[in-house]
Amino acid sequence: IRDADSMLARRQYEDALRIYRDANNLQDKKSARALLGMARSYHGLKAHKSAADACTESLKYVGDSRVLDAEARNLRGVSLFALGEKADDKRWKLAEEDFRAVLTMVDLYPVAQYNLGMVLLKQLRDEEGLKELRAFVERAGSMPEAASAKKYIENPRRARENFAPDFSFTTMAGEFLSSED
């Protein structure tokens, strides 16, 4: 499985998926870790339904491992979040349940609080979402999501609408322009 883990890090998702699948087959298709690896591979391939399904299967075999349980629930929530389309989408409700469960299980996943804040904003529940994002920023330190959370706190609509990404450039005439301008 270590080979597959390193392939994931190198974004060789299909190769990693094959190894995780083989490892799961060797364990009578009951390896929580291999199934979670498959889910991460599917996530890298943007196959969010397959990722969510692999997480659900993984959860059947995590046993007492709160860490594996939290990882599988967080990734399933992320996958369901990616599949959602509108504020009342049941997949966003299910994602919310997963993120809330992770937050009660382990303190190792502050990103679950960020994910929860985002899914709440998508559901037009700004007050709740902003509360979660603020709490995340307080404990996030230098996590990359902290900068995004601050932008969503500043303008919650960013979570629901397409905005141009931040940019800056110098024109051919030598004038500096940025998205802030």
Residue 171 has φ and ψ, to the nearest 5°, of -70, 170
Q: How confident is the model at residue 179 (pLDDT cuts 50, 70, 90)?
A: confident
Helices (H) and strands (E) in the chain, counts: 9, 2
Q: Could you tell me the two tokens for 39?
A: 């889910």
Q: Could you tell me how far CA 81 lies from the centroid of its own chain? A: 8
Amino acid 107: pLDDT: 74
User: Would the pLDDT of 164 be above 80?
Assistant: no
Q: What angle (nearest 5°) sits at the alpha carbon of residue 93, between those of residues 89 and 99?
A: 140
Q: Is-contact 125 140, C-beta < 8 A?
A: no
pLDDT digits 0-9 by tens, 44-65 = 999 999 999 999 999 999 999 9
Q: Specify the amino acid at residue 69.
A: D
H/E element, 3: helix 2-9
Amino acid 46: pLDDT: 97
Helices 2-9, 32-44: axis angle to 10 degrees equals 20
Round the CA-based radius of gyration of the chain to a whole number and report it.
19
Q: What angle (nearest 5°) sits at the alpha carbon of residue 10, between those of residues 46 and 99?
A: 45
Beta carbons within 10 angstroms of residue 163's beta carbon:
11
